[in-house]
Amino acid sequence: MKLSRWLLTLQIFAAVAAGVEIRNDIEFSRPSGHALTMDAHIPEGPGPFAAVILVHGGGWEAGDKRAAFIQPLFEPLDKSGLAWFSIDYRLAPKDPYPAAVLDVEEAIRYVKGHAREFRVDPARLALMGESAGGHLVALVATRSKAGTSVAAVVPFYGVFDFESLVESRGVARAFKNFLGISDLSEKSRAILREASASTFVKPGLPPFLLIHGTQDTAVPYGQSVKFCAQLKSAGVPCDFYTVDDGIHGVMNWEKKPAQHGYKKVMLDWLRKTLDVKPEGRTVRSIVWKIVPPAAHQDIRNLLARGDVDLQV
């Protein structure tokens, strides 16, 4: 068979949508004897795949890796061609700040440390979180601790500047339980600043995509507006998608088809930022054995010219 026909076969196989392998309840950390687990969704094929770590919301006090309020994100991620991991973390008030932050950082280290097992590319790892999870992923990305660097960040309606929010609204119960503060003393202000991603904005951070509804009364829309402007001022790429008339929570957006547009924007942005080929597939996902040995050298010659992306 001519080389061109084998290449066509490769392209056809590469375009076929892959299934998803699901591995549930993988323990990634055990702080103080508390087992923390993640669910992994890995596309079929050898990879390596770009990947997303998903962090749930719940006011830092509730929720888990399968919470109803993050489930609208599951289907688009499964169809994205990306590997993704939904994680648990310790909750307040039993485990206040910075426990949850440390847990997200540990999840990053675990996925990177098991990249070969998960068939993911550790250099193309993104963070995504909604509400409290949006705060956590932004803070982890801006803190830039050892072994926790990521290539992209997608926070949904997160708190990025606690101090300004408490100044305007007072100390909410969730803030008391999570941060252990009850007033705006200098000691409390120091904690608010330490827990805010806005404190750590600097050049060289990964690109951000912020997503927020204009009618959010739980976390003001202005938190995202201000944070994106701050990132841009530091030279950090920031895109901002507004959900018109959107209130707090992707689960609430599910009720209005006009508010579903964020899904395509989110996936298109991730694919572009993480350099994912169309449909999340590249020719490298093809089983090498379908090509006869006689054609191997010809294809290697093409690889040397950069015409085909294939792992051999």
Q: What is the pLDDT of residues 81-115, one digit of tens each?
A: 999 999 999 999 999 999 999 999 999 999 999 99
> pTM for the complete prediction?
0.84
CB 37 within 8 A of CB 26: yes
Give the whole-angstrom CA distance, residue 91 versus residue 69. 16
CB 127 within 8 A of CB 154: yes
Domain ranges of the chain: 1-16+286-312, 18-280
* SS3 call for 67: coil
pLDDT in tens, 208-255: 999 999 999 999 999 999 999 999 999 999 999 999 999 999 999 999
Q: Is the pLDDT of residue 284 over 60?
A: no
- Could you tell me which residue, 255 or 303, shows the higher pLDDT? 255
Q: Measuring CA to CA, how many Å separate 224 from each of 36, 150, 199, 270, 309?
A: 29, 20, 14, 19, 38
* Residue 277 binned pLDDT confidence (cut-offs 50, 70, 90): confident
275-282: average pLDDT: 63
269-274: average pLDDT: 98
* R_g of the chain, CA atoms, integer Å: 21
pLDDT in tens, 119-167: 999 999 999 999 999 999 999 999 999 999 999 999 999 999 999 999 9
CB 137 within 8 A of CB 107: no
- Residue 210 forms beta bridges with which residues? 240
Give the whole-angstrom CA distance, residue 69 versus residue 85. 16
Averaged confidence pLDDT in the chain: 88
CB 118 within 8 A of CB 143: no
- pLDDT above 90: percentage of residues in the chain: 82
Q: Is the pLDDT of residue 307 over 60?
A: no
- pLDDT above 70: percentage of residues in the chain: 83
Torsion-angle region of 209 (φ positive above 0: left; ψ -120 to 50: alpha; else: beta):
beta
Is domain 18-280 in CATH 3.40.50.720, yes or no?
no
Strands 49-55 and 120-130: parallel
Q: Is the pLDDT of residue 2 over 60?
A: no
192-205: average pLDDT: 98
Go through 269-304 and write b for each residue having 16 or more CB atoms within 10 A of its CB, e for each that does not: bbbebbebeeebbbbbbbeeeebeeeeeeebeeeee
* Residue 206 binned pLDDT confidence (cut-offs 50, 70, 90): very high
